[in-house]
Amino acid sequence: MVSVTIKNLTKKYGETVAVKDLNLEIKDQEFFILLGPSGCGKTTTLLCIAGLLKPDEGEVWLGNELVSSSGRDMHVTPQKREVAMMFQDYAIYPHMTVFKNIAFPLEVRGKDKREIVERVTTTAKLLGISQLLDRKPKQLSGGQRQRVALGRAIVRKPRVFLLDEPLANLDAKLRVKTRTELKELQRKLGVTTVYVTHDQVEAMTMADRIIVQRDGVTEQIGTPDELYNRPANLFVAGFIGSPEMNFTDCTLIKDGKKLWLDAKEFKIPVPAEIVPKLESYVGEDVIMGIRPEDLYEREFVKEGTQKNAFRMTVDIIEHVGPYLLLYLRKGRLSLVARVKHTKAGVGQEASIEMDLSKIHLFDKKTTKAIL
């Protein structure tokens, strides 16, 4: 098990820049997730780690072994990297039985028969597919194919797992179940894992750390907690969390010693502790973000939060599990609030408060977080 280090990686397909100047340090045994909308270069990054693509620029290290370097013009072939990759379409060899599929990496390495049988059997047991070993891929369901691909990846005890959207082709229920199983399996095997997904919920629930990519560019790297609570920019703030964070344009105005965020429909005081950081933005346009769960209906506000209420019309109420989603409107401003209870009905006005310690502010020009 090794760490994975990527330095200044750039990969182009002709004119398209798929990955641009990527820097990553993935720790040994870490569950690391590449997250981003489709087409942002996640698969390309994995292929570069696997050695299936040769980077145009930059270096890839596995532990302290340099495996790709554009500077030295060197490239260790995927065969010699001892990393396992699982492909989005699973890439199961259609002419081989499940047993043969899982045994393939061992056979190629010239392991002896007895060891192969033993390791394949153990792996199959671990994944609960022992009864499928004699089947051909055609006779398998989607979930079973996914297991076979996984089995082929873990049977040879690789240094790194590379998983490309392994759950994307499963139905919703199986996906949720497999998520926890996969996470548990990774912990048990202790193999450094690089996992690709475009599903932020999946990323948030499984990852030790996440990198958010967009159009080949890194937006932020951090733990799920960091990404959620301290998004580095507007894109990450909007991409992570469901329902999405509310955004609204504001102007920072100074009134004596106090700073105010003026959004036309409402005006809220900036908490004293962050005022110093905002001095330079006075008079400027900023974007304020607030997550739906940080909005409350007045009657149910907890003690101690700073109060400042404004009245909004409830357009729609949606029931989501134990919560209610209120779609609120006032003038051109619309917000979504996630609450436990509401007194207001559809079409009525509710008195809404926000948790001022939870607001996010972004520079309107750079879209970077100010706080």
Partner 1 sequence: MRFPKLGRVTLYILLIFFIFAFLLPLWTCITTSFKTLKGVIDTTPVEPPLGPLFRLPYPTMEPLITAFNIMKRSLLNSFTFTVAAMILSCLLGSINGYILTKITFKGSNTVFLFFTIGIFIPYQAVLVPLVLTMSKLGLYNHLGGLILTHTAYGIPITTLLFRNFYGLIPNSLIMAAKTDGAGTWTIYRRIVLPLSLPPFVVAAVFQFTSIWNDFLFGVVLTRGQNQPASVVLANLKGTTTVMWNLLMGGTLWYALPVLVIYLVLGKYLMRGYMAGAVKG
Partner 2 sequence: MRFPSRKVFMKDWMVTSLFLLLSLVLVGYFVYVCIGWNVIVSLSDWKGLTPSYNIAGFDQYLSLFHDQVFLTSLKNNLILILLFVPGSLFLGLFLAILLDLKVRGEGAFRSIYLLPFALSFVITATLWAWMYNLDVGVINTLLEKIGLGFLRPMWVADPNIAMYCVVLALIWQFSGYTMLIFLGGIRSIPESQIRAAEVDGASGFDLYRYVVIPQLKAPALSAFIVLMVFALKAFDFIYILTGGGPGWSTYVLALMMFKETFRKNQFAYGGAIATILFLLALVIVVPYLYLSFRREKE
Q: Which residues contact 141 (CB under 8 A, 6 or more apart)?
A: none
Torsion sign, CA atoms 34, 70, 91, 96: negative
Which residues 72-101 are close enough to bind partner 2 by CB under 8 A?
72-77, 79-80
Contact partner at residue 122 from ligand ADP, Mg ion, partner 2, none, CB < 5 to 8 Å by partner kind: none
Which DSSP string corresponds to 326-364?
EEEEETTEEEEEEES--S--TTSEEEEEE-GGG-EEEET
- What number of other Cβ atoms are within 10 A of residue 346's Cβ? 11
User: In the stretch 93-112, what mask flags binding to partner 1 with x, by CB under 8 A?
Assistant: xxx--------xx--xx---
Whose Cβ is closer to partner 1: residue 67's or residue 337's?
A: 67
List the structure tokens of 72.
Answer: 């030295």
Q: Does 197 bind Mg ion (CB under 5 A)?
A: no
Does 178 interact with Mg ion (rule: CB under 5 A)?
no
Task: Give the nearer residue to ligand ADP in terms of CB position, either 217 or 274.
Answer: 217
Per-residue contact track with partner 1, 5 to 34, x per CB under 8 A?
Answer: ------------------------------
How many Å is the Cα radius of gyration of the chain?
Answer: 25
Q: According to CB under 5 A, which residues from 19 to 48 bind Mg ion?
A: 43
Contact 195, 166 (CB under 8 A): yes
Residue 306 burial (C-beta neighbours within 10 Å; 0-12, 13-18, 19+): middle
Which residue matches tokens 């750039």?
10
Paired tokens of 30 = 């870490």
The only residue of 9, 34, 50, 170 in contact with partner 1, by rule CB under 8 A: 50
Residue 340 binding partner per list partner 1, partner 2, ligand ADP, none, with a CB distance cut-off of 5 to 8 Å that depends on partner kind: none
User: Which residue, 77 or 131, has its beta carbon nearer to partner 2?
Assistant: 77
For partner 2, the closer CB: 52 or 275 = 52
How many CB atoms lie under 10 A from the CB of residue 187?
12
Contact 318, 350 (CB under 8 A): no
Task: Establish if 108 lies at the interface with partner 2 (CB under 8 A).
Answer: no
Token code pair at residue 7 = 């330095």
3-class DSSP state for residue 101?
A: helix
Q: Which residues are near ligand ADP by CB under 6 A?
A: 13, 16, 18, 36, 38-44
- Residues touching partner 1, count (CB under 8 A): 25
State the binding partner of 13 from ligand ADP, partner 1, partner 2, none, CB within 5 to 8 A by kind: ligand ADP
* Number of neighbours of residue 263 by Cβ within 10 angstroms: 17
Closest separation in Å from C-beta 195 to ligand ADP: 12
Counting Cα atoms < 13 Å in the Cβ hemisphere of 167 gives 23
Residue 14 touching partner 2 (CB under 8 A): no
Residue 110 burial (CB count, 10 A): 6
Q: Which of residues 46-65 bind partner 2 (CB under 8 A)?
A: 64-65
Q: Nearest residue by C-beta to Mg ion?
A: 43
Q: Which does 184 bind (CB under 5 to 8 A by kind): Mg ion, partner 2, partner 1, none?
A: none
**Residues belonging to the chain:** 371
200 binds Mg ion (CB under 5 A): no
| Segment lying near partner 1 (by CB under 8 A), choices 77-85, 123-131, 270-278, 328-336 | 77-85
**Is 66 near partner 2 (CB under 8 A)?**
yes
Query: CA–CA separation, 135 vs 147, rounded Å?
Result: 13
Residue 225 within binding range of partner 2, rule CB under 8 A: no
Residues in contact with Mg ion by CB under 5 A are 43
Residues in contact with partner 2 by CB under 8 A are 64-66, 72-77, 79-80
